[in-house]
Amino acid sequence: MTALRNLWRIPTARFALVVLAGIAFLTVFGGALAPHDPLKQYTDHVLEGPSATHWLGTDYVGRDVLSRLMSGTRLSVVGAAEAVIIGAALGVPSGLASAWLGPRLEWLTLRISDTLVILPFTVFAIAVAGTLGNGLQQAMFAIGVLISPIFFRVTRSVAMGMRRQQYVEAAELMGATEWWTLRTHIWSKVLPNVAVTFAQATGAALLVVASLSFLGLGVSPPAPTWGGMLASDLDYLAQQPWAPVFPGLLMMAAVGSLNLLADAVREATGDARRRRRSTPRTASPAQSRHEAQRQTKETARA
C-alpha cells in the first residue's frame, strides 16, 4: 500500500492509472456494454459517418465501429497480457537461477537468451503460427518466448548486483539457504525492476499483437481487434479518412499510459531508495546506554 501511495503522488502516474483503468473496464465489460452486435452487418448503413444510431459510424460492411472497438479491446489486451505473463514466467526464474546456480547454468541461459534476442518477433510468430496453427494462443506463446530475454536480463542484472552485497554474503556464511536468501533479501529488490519491465513489455506486446492482427495472424476475422480494424479501414480511406483514428487513439492511449506508468514506478522506486539512504539511523535505547557507558569509562581512565 505504501508503494501505491507513493506512486499516486506522481501526476503522470495518476493520469496513466486512470487511462489504464478505463481500458481495463472496456476489457472486462466492453463486449457486454456495446450498443450493437459487433458482428452484425447493417447493409443499408455501409460506410456511414458518426450518427445518433452509430456514434462512430459503420465500416465497409455496415458493422458498428464503436461496438467493434469496445468488444475488440478484450482480445487485444488479453492477448498482450498473456504474452507478457509467459515472458515473465520464463525470464524471471531463469534470471534468478543463472545468478545463483553455478557457471554452467549461467552459460546455458545466456546462450539461449542471446539466441532469442536476435529472432524477429513477426517472423517468429508467423513461423509458429504456420507450424502450430493460426490461433491467438499460438501467437501469444511465440511473442512470450521472445519477450522472456528482457525479463531474464533485468532479473539477472539486479540479482548479480545484490549477491555482492555484504549482508547477503553474511547470510550465506551464517548458513542461510539459497531459497531463504532469495526470498528475504533479493526478491524485494528485483520486484520493482520486474514491475517496470512488465509495464514496458506490455506496451510493446500490444503493438506486436496489433501488428499480427493487421497481418491476419493470431485472431482470425471477423473477430474484432485493434489491428484488424486498422487493416480493414485502410482500403476505404477515400470514403472514411477518419476511420483509422479511433483504433489508433486507443492503441496510443494504452501504450503511452504503460510507458508513463513504467517511468513513474522507476521514479517512485528511486525516490524511496534515496530517502532510505538519506534518513539517519537512530540508535536503540540499549545501544545508547552502551555508548554512554563506554564514554564514561574512557573519561574515568583519562
- Per the confidence metrics, is the pTM higher than 0.95? no
Q: Which residues, listed in sequence order, are joined to residue 58 by a DSSP beta bridge?
A: 64
> What is the rounded CA–CA span in Å between residue 24 and residue 18?
10
Q: Does pLDDT of 202 surpass 90?
A: yes
More confident residue, 264 or 295: 264
Q: Does pLDDT of 143 surpass 50?
A: yes
Section 155-165 average pLDDT: 82
Tens of pLDDT, residues 48-96:
888 888 899 898 889 999 999 999 999 889 989 999 999 999 999 998 8
| Separation of CA 58 from chain center | 33
**Which grid coordinates belong to 224?**
474484432
* Residues of the chain above pLDDT 90, percent: 27
Q: CATH number of the domain at 2-269, please?
A: 1.10.3720.10
